[in-house]
Each structure stands twice: as structure tokens, then as C-alpha cells.
Amino acid sequence: MKIYTNDNNTATLKLLIAANLAGKKIELKKATFEDVSAGPKALPLLEVDDQLSFFSSNAAAQYLFPVLDLSQNGQCQQMQEWEATRLQPTTAAVLMSKSVASDLKQALNSLLLMVDGLLKTHKYIIGDKLSAADISIWSTLYPLCHNKDYQKQYLAECPNIMRWADELGSAKAIQEAVQQWGGSVEGPFAPTSALGIPQFTNMVSPVGTPESQEISITAEEIEAAKENWINGVKNLQEPLKKQDVILPVKGRRNVLITSALPYVNNVPHLGNIIGCVLSADIFARYCRLCDYNTLFICGTDEYGTATETKALEEGVTPREICDKYHTIHEAVYRWFDIGFDYFGRTSTPEQTEIAQKMFLKLMDNGFISKQSVDQQFCERCQRFLADRFVEGTCPHAGCGYEDARGDQCDACGRLVNAADLVRARCKLCAAPPALRASEQMFLELGQLEPALRAWAAGAAGGWSGPARAVSRGWLREPLRARAVTRDLRWGVPVPLPACRDKVFYVWFDAPIGYLSITQCATGQYEKWWKKDKDYDVKLYQFMAKDNVPFHVVMFPATVIGVNEGHLLVDHVFATEYLNYEDGKFSKSRGVGVFGTDAQETGIPSDVWRFYLTSIRPETSDSSFSWAELGTRNNSELLNNLGNFCHRSLSFCANTFKGVVPDAELTAADYELFALVNREVAGFVQHMEKGRLREALRCVLSVSRLGNQHMQSSQPWVLLRGDEQDKARGAAAVCVCCQLAALLAALLAPFVPRAAARLRDQLRLTPDQLRINPENPSLIQYLPPGHVIGKPEPLFAKLEPEMLEKLKAKYAGTQSERAKKQNGAAKGAAPAGAAELEAAVAAQADKVRQIKSSTKDKAVVQPEVDKLLALKKQLAAAQAQESRGAQGAPTGVNDVANLEKAIAEQGEKVRKLKASTKDKSVWQPEVNILLALKKQLADAQAQPEAGQSPTSVASVASVASLEKAIAEQGEKVRQLKASTKDKSVWQPEVNVLLDLKKQLAALQVKQ
């Protein structure tokens, strides 16, 4: 047996102590870069033989000395879990930081006090017997207990820890282990990750302090676990019937979910995505998992000055701007797998009708007043100018920027009053505007305040912390009347003769978008939005903090004033802000990662969803970090979740031909179920309160419990033993597969693609994988005798090198990045064929080298893409040079050459595809083929010398292209019908799309 370790790693100490107690000889080996880059990235690694190795140090310690755990299995595992997820990361963070932040210090102190409390009443961590938990905790605290400075700082109030540490430390087996370990309490301390990737822990979440009585499972919990195991499937409610148009259903829980409507004039960034649409989507998927009757809507917010400004900048109409960005938003959300029931927009006739109706009703009820407002007016354009439409010299001392806007100066960043601008001018025509009085309609918020306060006092219980804080801030002072109309063109017209040139202010009509979008989705919005005696609807709204006032003050005031029984929001789930690395995401300056960027990284959408949820700013601002994205993917998705599911299913597939074995469950199994059920209950509780990050944590705990069960029951040993052992091994495999099925259900809201793949591998339907929110627990998802499908890995590793590259790529602002790219393109453009040939050769060398060092497509593919791009440029340059030298007629030759090259390349692709399913191998060749085909089409489309543009040749190619499209279309249909594996049919779809593009290009030319 060998342990691979780095220097001064306290987790290695755990293993050595366990081995010493068990009397096992162990060889200690320094891990080299190669050892580590081939295997898992966590150290130490315990290698038992070729077949078996452990990279969780607690599981390894248990393997080495299982007897330490026999007495009180559940308690010991729970303590070790706590040690691994709370104590160890916090201690490591303290030991490895130069100056310790106060919240970190506080977190460690509270953990230590908890341990001290346990040791006050008992000799050891769990009662009066030494257990594996003692060894784990003792090893982790070794530097703290034996370094005088740390002792003084952290253990001054923990006499019981010191007593216990000294006592254990005097044991011979432990002393020998410490000697073999050879580390120093002076540091520096090794990270448990081998290559120095920082291990992150979330300090802002409440640090758990399991009380000793909470650790032990009660008899009631075990009884309930048993009951749910036996009758849980039976007790699920009837699956909800699918409706073509989703309307509330009597006798079911009806849930209406909205995500704040994104403003249409730009591309959403990751902060916007986690704050609104992704959070709402995770919740909506959870609701469907519980079989709630769910309607999830969203859409683009399209009216207002910002759209008009953007239209002006791009030289198009506001409608065109909206169409363009609506499409971009929709595509970004589709890529992130946001499963809206309907994604609409606010610039619709439905919006006009409902907004006007509500406004007139407010007026009837006496909540609208008229006031005169001074505003900038341009004589030449004959229109009032919104603040953004007035420009001039910044009035702030020391700035003097000449292109400051009427709302803000981009040079000094300060707010500006349009009337204060020096030498103000109209943004449209540059004429100087003048102040002119204009009559506007106001909503009398003050009159609505008492009713609003009464409602908020009762409703705020269902709101998230940030939402309550904002609401309290707003209601602290008396509310003032607020203008609901403006002198603008792009908006919902005000339905009064005196207001012919006015539209509604966007703050007033945007929330009405929820109603009009529901109308577009169902044709009967009032069924959802007005109270009905026959059924109940609960309204859940997701948004970022800055949007809260409109949802808890302004819109509710409108609804109360209209007084027609509209729904008021029950749950406002607002988030704080997400920062980018060390700065802020900024749409206007283009800082951070945007929805379209995420797609280009090649990192699957599931990984983005998982990571963004794990840093969701629920209680305070949080930060996006590329390094952390990698760590979470590799340690949690891949090592914890992915490996557990894949190992469990593989045991079932390999040893039992895929038939889930019968299990005689023991008391210990039901204890495990009871522990799992605590996590499932936690998952439901957190979800219902909109704490998605905490819910995800519970899912990961289920997987950790599963991993622990597999490590401690060791089916790979049992299945080789006698009949009794074999039965126990079969039971362990059955339990692990059932836990994998539970995970397929719990993961569905967060990583829908991976969850669906796992579900397919388990051969279960979505109806079979539901949760009972009334009684959340593990149920027998896999019926006796159920046969599962072929296990496949669910997640892939992300290389730190690639993440470093991405971090560099997305540094700075979007315009800086664009400049960098343009610069590169310009530098390469004038290159001749000879230079390009050299570049292609050099790049090809590089690709070969990388391919020999790694199989990771994420690393290889960008270089391959570069190579392909160079090859394309080379082909184009060669074609140009030959055309230039020999005149037009060579076009015919080009066509013949290209046809030959295509035939050869086609053959190559066919052979490759027959030999391997690995897309990373054949995709580059397919790309070359596609590029060649495109060149051929271009060559054919080029009118030859002496022929008219509508040459016979090109007409012929239209006909042949149409034929090719029909054939290719048929091929795609057949492939799609035969398999769901996108990697099989996507290349054919690409060929089809390419053909269609060629046809369109030809038709335009003619």
C-alpha cells in the first residue's frame, strides 16, 4: 500500500495514524507532477492495489482501520462529513492565508468552540470510545494545537480540546505516525489539492454546529425511513395531466413564476442570468418535480428611452432594436436551458390593452393627478427630450467633458441634471434645447400608502432578506406621487385626448408585462392573475436587488389602486449582486462574462448552471472566479456526484447484468436512509424559501453519504466473498443505485441535461422520478427486478490551464477585447500564401504536440480551430493568387480540384467515423470537409468569364443544391428518429444548414 502526498499535508497524517492503529505498513511517496496530473487532483491518495485507490482521506482512514467506526456508524460518519466539509476547509484557509480575515477567524472560532463543547461532556468526540472522527479532527487541528502562536490565537478558550489533543498525542501509535509524517507545525502547509488550485469554502453560509444529540438518529426517523421506503411510491399523488394551455387547476397547488423582465438593449451577463432567469428556472423545475401546476413566464422589457437611444446609436428604428435583442436574449436563455413556458415581450397589443385599462381604472378610483413639470424641449425637432437625449459639457468642477449626457457624465461618472449642462444641445439635431412646462399624470402613492403598508406587513414573511430590507427602506419615509407618463414616442400611448403625444413611463408599464405576457401565453390571463374562489394561485417573483422597489412598492400600489382583485406577490426572491473576479460586472462598460461568451467557452451549460447556483448571492454579494469554476466542477460535479453515480451503475451493469439486485435491508441501511432523508427534507425546505444554493448543498450531501456508504460497505470486496457477503454486497449495490436515482431527481432543477442523461441510464421516466414535498424522502425509485441501461460518465474534467486562458481572454472590457481581436486579424490579413503556409505548418506542429500530451478536447480544440482557420485563409490566398496569375478561366480547374479534394476528405471522414465514436477525433476532419464544400459552392457560384451573372452553371447549382437539401433533410430526419445522441446527428444537421445557407446566398445573387 502506498500513500501519495505533498509536504506537510495534515490529511496524510490521518491515514498514517489509522494505518498505525491497524498495524498496517504503508509506504509514503512524494507525489510528482506526473502522478497527479494523471489522477485525481486531491492529495493524499491511498493506493491499495491497481484496482483500488481512495482520494477521500476520511474514506481511506476508514478503510485502513474500519474497527474505529463499528460502534456508532452514523454518528461517526456525520462527524467526519462535518470535518471534511466545514472544519478542514476553514482550518486550511486560516493556515494558508497571510492575514486572516475577521469573518474567517470567527468561523474557525465557532467551529472550535463546538468541538470543545463535545469534549467537555465526553472523553472523545463521540462518547467514551475512540473513533475515526477523533483521528480526522485531531489531524486537522494538529498544527493549531502544536504551534504556540496558533494556540494562543484560537485555542485559549478551548481547554477541553487541549486536554484531548495531548492525551491522543501521547499514544504510541500516533507518535510513530507523526514521526513518519515528518511535517512541521511552523508550515508552510500544503493545500489538499495537488497543483495548488485553491480549495474554496463558502464563509458566508451559516457554519453548521451539529449538537451531539442532533447527530444521533431517532427511532422515529428510522421508522419513517422504513415506511417511506415501502410505501413512498404508492403515496405519490397522481401525476398532473398535461395541458395544452396551462391554466390553474382546482384541487392542485398552482404556482405562477415570473423572472424580472430583462431590458432589451443589451446582452445579459452572468450576474443577470443567476439573479433572474436561472434562479426562476431552477425553482420552476423544482415545482414541476413536485408536480405543482406551474406556469413560468418571462419576456423582454422593450419600451423606454434606453431603447430609443440605442436605436439612434445603431441607426435603426426602436422596433428593429427590440426584434434584434429579443432574439439574442431568447437564444442565450435557450442555451442555458431556461425552460420558460412562455418567453414574450412587452411591445404587444395585449400590453397596450391591459396597461391602458389599469390606468383608466386608477383614474376612476381617484389615484391619478395632473402636475406640471419643466422639461427640455427641442424647437427644431418639435419634441420633449428625455434626459439621455440632452448632451453638453459636464457641469462638475474639474471635469469639463464635452459629451456628458443629461443623466450622467461618462468621464467623471457623476450624476448630472439635464438643466445644469453647459452649452446643452439636442442629441438628435444639436440645436440648443429650452425648458418648457409639460403636464404629466402622477400616481398618488401617498394615498395608497396605508393599504400598501398593511399588505407588506403581512406578506413580507415570504420574501427573501434583500427584498425585506429594500421594502423597509422604502416604507420608512412617506411615499410621494410619481409620474406615470412621459413625452416620448416609443411606449404604450396614454388613452386620454389631452395626452396624445405621451406614453407611459416604463416603470409603470413594465410590471404589467407579466400580465400581458401571460395573456399571450394562455389567452386567459385573468385566470392566473385574479383571485378565484375555486382555486388558489401563489405568485413567486425572482429578481436582483435593484428591481425590488418595483415589485414590493410600485406595482403592488398600482394593483391595490386598481382594486379589481388582482394577485399580489406572495414570494419575492431577490438576490444581491454577483461580482466578476475582483471587480463588478458591468453591462454599459462590457466588463465580465456575457451569455454569448459562456457559449463560446465550450464549457457545458450544466456546469455554468451548477457553478452559478453554488455562488448565488443569496445573503450577500459574491464573486465569479474562473479558478473556482474549475475547482467546483472537478471536485463536486466530477469527483463527488459523477463518480458516485457512475460507480454505482457500473456495479449494477457489470456484476448483475443491469438488473437491480434484491436487497435485504438492515438496520444500518435504514439509518443511512434516515440521514439521507434529512438532506431531502432540507432540499425541499430551502427550495420552498428560494434558498437555491442551500438546496444544492443538500443534494451534494446526499451524494457524499452515498460515497461514504460505498467506501464503508466495500461491495468490491463483499461480492468476492461467501454467500452471506455476496448478499450484503448486492444490498450495497442496490442501495447505491437507489441513491443515484434519488440524485437524478434532485439534480434535475440544477443540471437538467446531466440529470436527464442519468435518468435515461437508469431507464426511468420523469413521472417515476418525482418528489413528495409533503413527505420528502428516499423512496424505492427502482422497482424490484428493474433493468438499467448502459452507464456513461456524466461530467468531464476542466483543466486549470484552459481556465487560465479563459480568464486572460475575458479580462478587461468588451471593447478592449474587440480591439485585441481586430488587431490580430489585421496583422494576419495581408499575409501571402507563403507566409500562411509557414503558419499552418507551425500550428500543425503545435496541435500534434498538444494531442500527444492530452486527450482533453477542451485544450486541444481551440488550437485545432486556429489551425483550421489558418488553412482556410491559406486556401483563400492560394485561390486568389492563382486567379490573379492565370485569369478567370482557372475557376473551372478550381472546381475540379475541389471536387476531388472533397471526395478524398469524405472518404477519410467515413473511415474515421466507422473506427471511433470520439467526436473530438473526427470533428476536425468534418470541419475541413465542410470548409471544402463551401469553397466549392463559392467557386461554382462565381460567374465565369464571358458569362452573364445568371449563368447556366449557377442555375444548375441552385437545382442541385435544392436536391441536395432535400436528400440531406431526409437523412437528418431518419437519424433524429433513430437516436437522441446529438453528437451523431449534429454534424449532419450542420451540413444541412450549410447547404441551406449556400442556396440562400445563390438566390440572393440571382
Chain residues in the site for Zn ion (CB under 5 A): 378, 380-381, 394, 396, 399, 401, 409, 411-412, 426, 428-429, 431
Q: Please state the closest distance from residue 591 (CB atom) to Zn ion, in A.
A: 20
Q: Please state the closest distance from residue 865 (CB atom) to Zn ion, in A.
A: 43
Nearer to Zn ion, 428 or 627 (CB): 428
Cell of 394: 459636464
Nearer to Zn ion, 323 or 407 (CB): 407
Q: What Cα–Cα distance (Å) separates residue 926 from each residue in 152, 862, 896?
A: 65, 16, 20
Residue 586, phi then psi, degrees to nearest 5: -145, 120
Q: Please state the closest distance from residue 1005 (CB atom) to Zn ion, in A.
A: 41
Q: Please state the closest distance from residue 411 (CB atom) to Zn ion, in A.
A: 5
Nearer to Zn ion, 433 or 511 (CB): 433
Q: Please state the closest distance from residue 438 (CB atom) to Zn ion, in A.
A: 16
Q: In what order do the strands lie in the sheet with 383-384?
A: 383-384, 368-378, 434-443, 482-483
**Separation of alpha carbons 655 and 727, rounded Å:** 13
Residue 193, phi then psi, degrees to nearest 5: -90, 140
Q: Please state the closest distance from residue 1003 (CB atom) to Zn ion, in A.
A: 42
For residues 809-840, b (16+ Cβ closer than 10 Å) or e, as one string? bbeeebeeeeeeeeeeeeeeeebebeebbebb
Contact (Cβ atoms closer than 8 angstroms) between residue 292 and residue 255 = yes
Nearer to Zn ion, 52 or 435 (CB): 435
Nearer to Zn ion, 275 or 433 (CB): 433
**Separation of alpha carbons 676 and 781, rounded Å:** 14
Q: Which residue has the cell 472533397?
A: 902
Q: Please state the closest distance from residue 501 (CB atom) to Zn ion, in A.
A: 15
Three-state secondary-structure class, residue 434: strand
Cell of 883: 486567379
Number of residues written out for the chain: 1006
Cell of 493: 400611448
Question: Closest Cα to residue 750, out of 576, 615, 572, 601?
Answer: 615
Q: Please state the closest distance from residue 383 (CB atom) to Zn ion, in A.
A: 7
Question: Closest Cα to residue 192, out of 635, 708, 614?
Answer: 635
Nearer to Zn ion, 328 or 412 (CB): 412
Nearer to Zn ion, 401 or 535 (CB): 401
- How many CB atoms lie under 10 A from the CB of residue 74? 18
Nearer to Zn ion, 363 or 381 (CB): 381
Q: Please state the closest distance from residue 697 (CB atom) to Zn ion, in A.
A: 46
Nearer to Zn ion, 405 or 571 (CB): 405
Nearer to Zn ion, 335 or 401 (CB): 401
**Separation of alpha carbons 993 and 609, rounded Å:** 29
Nearer to Zn ion, 405 or 502 (CB): 405
Handedness of CA 510, 511, 515, 520 (dihedral sign): positive
Q: Please state the closest distance from residue 404 (CB atom) to Zn ion, in A.
A: 5
Residue type, 992: L
Q: Which residue has the cell 497543483?
A: 195
Nearer to Zn ion, 394 or 794 (CB): 394
Q: Please state the closest distance from residue 814 (CB atom) to Zn ion, in A.
A: 23
Nearer to Zn ion, 426 or 653 (CB): 426
Q: Which residue has the cell 452573364?
A: 948
**Separation of alpha carbons 623 and 619, rounded Å:** 13
Nearer to Zn ion, 397 or 952 (CB): 397
Helix axes 890-915, 919-941, angle to 10 degrees: 160
Contact (Cβ atoms closer than 8 angstroms) between residue 485 and residue 427 = no
Nearer to Zn ion, 358 or 394 (CB): 394
Q: Please state the closest distance from residue 117 (CB atom) to Zn ion, in A.
A: 58
Nearer to Zn ion, 395 or 943 (CB): 395
Q: Which residue has the cell 503558419?
A: 839
Question: Closest Cα to residue 710, out of 726, 734, 679?
Answer: 734
Question: Closest Cα to residue 745, out of 791, 690, 677, 699?
Answer: 699
Q: Please state the closest distance from residue 314 (CB atom) to Zn ion, in A.
A: 19
Q: Please state the closest distance from residue 425 (CB atom) to Zn ion, in A.
A: 8
Mark residue 732 as left, alpha or beta (left: phi above 0; alpha: psi -120 to 50; beta: remaining). alpha
Q: Please state the closest distance from residue 409 (CB atom) to Zn ion, in A.
A: 3
Question: Hey, which bits of 379-445 come out as E strands?
Answer: 383-384, 390-393, 404-405, 422-426, 434-443
Q: Please state the closest distance from residue 415 (CB atom) to Zn ion, in A.
A: 10
For residues 231-240, b (16+ Cβ closer than 10 Å) or e, as one string? ebeeebeeeb
For residues 392-410, b (16+ Cβ closer than 10 Å) or e, as one string? bbbbbeebeeeebbbebbe
For residues 712-725, b (16+ Cβ closer than 10 Å) or e, as one string? bbbbeebbeeeeee
Nearer to Zn ion, 412 or 993 (CB): 412
**Separation of alpha carbons 453 and 478, rounded Å:** 11
Q: Please state the closest distance from residue 423 (CB atom) to Zn ion, in A.
A: 14
Nearer to Zn ion, 245 or 429 (CB): 429
Q: Please state the closest distance from residue 433 (CB atom) to Zn ion, in A.
A: 7
DSSP assignments along 33-78, one per residue: HHHHHHS-SBS-EEE-SSS-EE-SHHHHHHHH-GGGGSTTHHHHHH
**Separation of alpha carbons 847 and 192, rounded Å:** 32
